[in-house]
A and B are shown apart, each in its own frame.
Chain A
Amino acid sequence: MAKTAFTLAGLTLKNRVLVASGTYGYGDDTLDLADPAKLGGIVTKSLSMKPRAGNPPPRIVETSSGMLNSIGLANIGVMKFIEEKLPVLRGLSTAIIANIAASSIDEYCQVLEVLNEQEGVDGFEINVSCPNVREGGLNFGTSCPMVSEITARLRKLTRKPLIIKLTPNVTHISEFARAAQDAGADAVSVINTLIGMAINIHTRRPMLATTTGGLSGPAIKPVALAKVYEASRAVKIPVIGIGGIMNANDAIEFLIAGASAVQVGTANFVDPAAGIKIAEGMNTFCDENRIEDIGSLVGSLVTTGNVSVVDSWL
């Protein structure tokens, strides 16, 4: 069997498949349906200092091979997370990455400091790219100096893995990946959702209460792959690929494009065991193709010679 483990800034993950923030709750809603010990890790729902109620309904709408969401960072707040959720998460035998969202740099720092002392929190992913809240979120993620400053401030506060989650809603994501790397990030997650919209033509109203939302699902996979390719060529730190991964083949595409690991998001809503099935499917692919270390796929895109046309498109 192929080597599947992956070490990220000193943290060893069992495999290269994590579940994405906001698509797996706090890890305790799916225990009947999927064994999290078979995942590389769980990235928690975004945590802020105080609880956030989130946006009014409707918060979601299905689109062609995708969905729009406007949850608005609804979460129970970091203190309640530590009291109620973390004790459960500690027992799951998988890496726990706490995702942090905030509306000021100080709040990012506060939340990280509180979590940094907690046993069971193995690393951090910083959400500088939520499209669904007015203050903060995406506003941080679309400014390179801001990404740089947030990363540098947080870097001083923790030795645990620090991952910055980038938005695709910029012209050159590579500049942002480089800014995060230069300020001390251990990895970047690429990508958060794309800003999107859907309209009811009969009422002429938007389908989401907030008018626009974040597009996810297989619809965004080609965009995500291109962003991963761009970012991974610009930095030396690992890139974690996210965007419409539904099966093992999708995940392998991301590794070839340059991702060192992947996160599975919207697929969890369709099948809460999607991440596990994807990790197993990647192993099968490696076995069938005599790949001894899955890591050898990372960034292995062949760019020389002619691009061959295959007939599988038929």
Chain B
Amino acid sequence: MITQELSPVTGVRQLADTVFVCSVRSPRIASEVKPGQFVNILIEQTTDPLLRRPFSVYRVDGDRIEIIFNVVGRGTALMSHKGPGDTLDILGPLGVPYSFLDESFSTALLVAGGLGVAPMPLSTGFLKSRGKKVVTFLGARTASAVLPHHLENLQVATDDGTMGFRGNVVELLGSVWKSHTYVKPKIFACGPTAMLRGLAAFAVKQDIPCEVSLEGPMACGIGICQGCPVELVGEEKKFALMCKDGPTFDVRKIRF
């Protein structure tokens, strides 16, 4: 069930240059959220910025949830200045989680680019508790942008080669794939759209099941504004909604 929770901020900590983790007390959302779902946060009670901002849930700790974010615009800049004493109006949990209950896979390959790491710690905990093997591939621009916390069997790629594999995360996965021994693998990914497109092409070519979590402009987060269409594969032109039918999608079912 979707709830609207006025959530006291318990802390905001800086992880990297422009990357922060905001921790809030949201007992109802904390008890219901599943990996891959998101929350839509009203950061200020003003009309400018007007709309909520969507974020993946990074971690759950008791009755608290954590949101990881990069300061990229006005909303995230305002959120980076929050602290104890502030309250955020949070709508969640929203969207369709990753299909981790799917019995057809036993090894989850978590593939993330940049801040696409956001849903992966919660995912890792969930998968391990259900006896799935987890391998994580994480891509970033450079070593200082790598966010390696709370992950499992981590392999890193950086564009400039300052940490791990030199290249992007899809190339890293490709290099590992030649000699892999993963039992019944399935890819679950999150990251920039260009990276996800490359990954989807790789997964289709190698015949690996693959789910991606998409990000894009969104207003309501619950399906009433129809503002976040994702084109579905098929003869007739049809759109799903990123917020309500996603943000997780089987790459074989969408054009993106």
Contact = CB atoms under 8 A, between A and B. Distances in A.
Given A58-B216, A217-B47, A218-B47, A33 B2 contact: yes
Contacts of B49: 62
B103 interface: no
Contact of A270 (B42, B218, B236): B42
Interface in A51-70: 53-62, 64-67, 69
B227 A64 contact: no
B202 interface: no
A30 B224 contact: yes
A311 interface: no
Contacts of A53: 236-239
B19 interface: no
A268 B220 contact: yes
B231 interface: yes
A29 B51 contact: no
A22 interface: yes
Interface string A250-284: 00000000000000001011111100000000000
B1 interface: yes
Interface size grouping (class) on chain B: 20 to 34
11 contacts: A23-B224, A25-B223, A25-B226, A30-B224, A32-B2, A33-B2, A54-B226, A56-B231, A60-B228, A268-B224, A271-B42
A74 B220 CA distance: 16
A65 B224 contact: no
Nearest to A209: B229
A71 interface: yes
Contacts of A140: none
What is the predominant secondary structure among interface residues of chain B facing chain A? loop
B207 interface: no
B219 A60 contact: yes
Interface of A: 22-25, 29-30, 32-33, 45, 53-62, 64-67, 69, 71, 74, 217-218, 246, 266, 268-273
A54 B223 CA distance: 14
Contact of A67 (B4, B50, B89): B50
B235 to A, nearest CB: 12
Contacts of B50: 62, 65-67, 217-218, 266, 270
A24 B222 CA distance: 10
Contact of B47 (A33, A65, A74): A65
B148 interface: no
A57 B216 CA distance: 9
Contacts of B4: 33, 271-273
B217 interface: yes
A64 B48 contact: yes
Contacts of B1: 32
Given A53-B237, A61-B217, A71 B226 contact: yes
A246 B51 contact: no
Contacts of A66: 50
Contacts of B225: 22-23, 60, 69, 71, 269
